[in-house]
Structure formats: structure tokens, C-alpha cells
């Protein structure tokens, strides 16, 4: 009986430890070129050793719950994830006109666009929980385009993943050192076949290790965002299968690059 009691106590202690362990979230303020940015860092406090870090870049709506939820999900998988702020002050909107204005301000200067993304990456690398030799980045919509700009600029990172990204094509002469994975909805009117063809043609010229996955059966832009259909834009639509499959594909990609 005494032995059983000790086992029971040990079991309860382990259960209590597991309950106490949870994904933590911390706001991180930083400055770049005179602008204040506020991102959100996520990590599992039960993990004591350093682990790979993943940068998460939001859609054109800004740093909203979608990007934060994905960063939290990454933390549950054992990564340290930083949901970066690309617009300043951590702001977001549900108004397409405002989102377009903010996105245009960033993307109109490609060098500045890349620099803002890399400023977010630096915050991730600064974390004492991150193995700075194992880094990746993922992005959605505008954030997916940001992934490609990071790859084109030679950012020192193991891999980038674009989800329904804008797919800007690589400039002639670009050499890409990081591995690239892009997920696309074949019915995405915002990124038509001509854009896709130009993207893949230019990627082939870079000599990069790259993959492009297109989902058919009417998969549109924003297919990973459960709230995609609430913005009043016909081309935006959540697709559960494409969301789940692309998330699983990302995990397999991470297992490969971080092994």
C-alpha cells in the first residue's frame, strides 16, 4: 500500500507539472528606422533547451489573431515563434482599403520591406530560448510575399514557407541559398496563372531548392484563415483541407531542414 501511495503521489506530481507547463506569450517592442514595432513571442515554458525559431509574418490585415494563433500553434509543436509586426505599433484592421494602404507603404520600397522583415527576425534570434543556427520563417498573403523577399535578399535562414502568398518573382541574377516552400490556391484570382508562371520560371533560374504546391477544387486566396470569408471579398475563402494539408506540409519541411 505504501508503494502504491508513493506511485500515486509521483503520478499526481507529474500531472501537476504538465498542467503548469503551457505556451507563454510575451509582447516584444523594437525599433527600426525610427518606427516602433510590437510583435508577439510564443514558447512552451516546459522546454528548457534551446530550440529552432520560426518567424511568422501576417497577412495584409496586419498583426491580427490569425498570425498570433499560428505562432502559438508553432510553440505547441516545440518551436519558439515570433509573430512579427510589419506595419508598426502592432496595428491591424478589417478594412480592405486600410490594409491595402499599409501594405503598399511597405512594398513600394523593396529594400525597406526586406529590412523590416529582417528586423523582426533579429528579435527572434535575440531570444535566449532560440537556437540561432536553426531558423525558419512563414508568411501569409502579404507575409508570403515577404518570405520571398527574404529569400531573394539572401537572409541567413534555413527555410521559408509562403501560404497563399503574393508570389513576387525573383529579379534576374538572384541566387537563393535558403530552401523555399510555397502553397497556393489554384482558384486564387489575386495571384493569377500569369503571376504563378513568372514566379516559377524565375525560381528555376535561381538554382534554389524550392517546392511549389497548388491546391485545386476551387481553393482561393486566404485558404488558411477561418475568418477569410468575413471580409466581404469574394476571392477570400477558407478551405479546411488545404489549411490542414499545407500545415502538415510545413511540419514535414521543418523536420527536414532542422534535422
pLDDT digits (tens, 9 = 90+) for 101-150: 999 999 999 999 999 999 999 999 999 999 999 999 999 999 999 999 99
Q: State the Cα angle at 101 between 137 and 195, rounded to 5°.
A: 60
Strand partners, 240: none
For the question of whether the overall pTM of this predicted structure is more than 0.85, the answer is: yes
Spatial distance between the Cα atoms of 120 and 160, rounded to a whole number of angstroms: 14
Spatial distance between the Cα atoms of 229 and 109, rounded to a whole number of angstroms: 30
Contact yes or no for 100/60 (Cβ under 8 A)? yes
Domains of the chain listed by start with CATH number = 28-257 (3.40.50.1820)
Residues 32-57: tens digit of each pLDDT: 999 999 999 999 999 999 999 999 99
Strand partners, 24: 43
Residues 166-220: tens digit of each pLDDT: 999 999 999 999 999 999 999 999 999 999 999 999 999 999 999 999 999 999 9
Spatial distance between the Cα atoms of 33 and 106, rounded to a whole number of angstroms: 13
- Only one residue has cell 528586423, namely 119
Element (H, E) at 100: helix 96-107
Spatial distance between the Cα atoms of 67 and 109, rounded to a whole number of angstroms: 23
Spatial distance between the Cα atoms of 215 and 218, rounded to a whole number of angstroms: 8
- Of the candidates 131, 123, 147, 115, the one whose C-alpha atom is nearest the C-alpha of residue 39 is 123
Greater confidence (9 vs 197) lies with 197
- Only one residue has cell 509574418, namely 57
Q: Cα separations (Å) of 177 from 151, 153, 184, 208?
A: 7, 10, 22, 6
Amino acid at each position: 500500500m505504501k508503494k502504491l501511495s508513493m506511485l500515486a503521489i509521483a503520478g499526481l506530481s507529474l500531472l501537476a507539472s504538465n498542467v503548469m507547463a503551457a505556451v507563454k506569450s510575451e509582447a516584444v517592442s523594437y525599433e527600426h528606422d525610427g518606427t516602433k514595432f510590437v510583435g508577439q513571442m510564443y514558447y512552451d515554458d516546459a522546454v528548457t533547451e534551446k530550440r529552432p525559431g520560426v518567424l511568422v509574418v501576417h497577412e495584409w490585415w496586419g498583426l491580427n489573431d490569425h498570425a498570433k494563433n499560428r505562432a502559438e500553434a508553432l510553440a505547441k509543436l516545440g518551436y519558439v515563434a515570433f509573430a512579427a509586426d510589419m506595419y508598426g505599433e502592432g496595428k491591424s484592421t478589417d478594412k480592405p482599403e486600410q490594409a491595402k494602404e499599409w501594405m503598399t507603404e511597405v512594398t513600394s520600397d523593396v529594400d525597406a520591406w526586406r529590412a523590416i522583415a529582417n528586423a523582426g527576425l533579429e528579435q527572434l534570434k535575440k531570444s535566449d530560448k532560440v537556437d540561432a543556427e536553426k531558423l525558419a520563417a512563414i508568411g501569409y498573403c502579404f507575409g508570403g510575399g515577404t518570405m520571398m523577399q527574404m529569400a531573394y535578399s539572401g537572409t541567413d535562414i534555413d527555410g521559408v514557407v509562403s501560404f497563399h502568398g503574393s508570389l513576387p518573382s525573383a529579379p534576374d541574377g538572384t541566387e537563393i541559398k535558403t530552401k523555399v516552400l510555397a502553397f497556393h490556391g489554384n482558384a486564387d484570382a489575386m495571384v493569377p496563372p500569369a503571376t504563378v508562371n513568372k514566379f516559377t520560371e524565375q525560381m528555376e533560374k535561381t538554382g534554389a531548392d524550392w517546392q511549389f504546391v497548388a491546391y485545386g477544387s476551387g481553393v482561393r486566396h486566404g485558404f488558411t484563415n477561418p475568418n477569410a470569408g468575413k471580409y466581404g471579398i469574394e476571392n477570400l475563402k477558407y478551405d479546411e483541407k488545404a489549411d490542414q494539408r499545407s500545415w502538415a506540409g510545413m511540419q514535414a519541411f521543418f523536420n527536414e531542414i532542422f534535422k
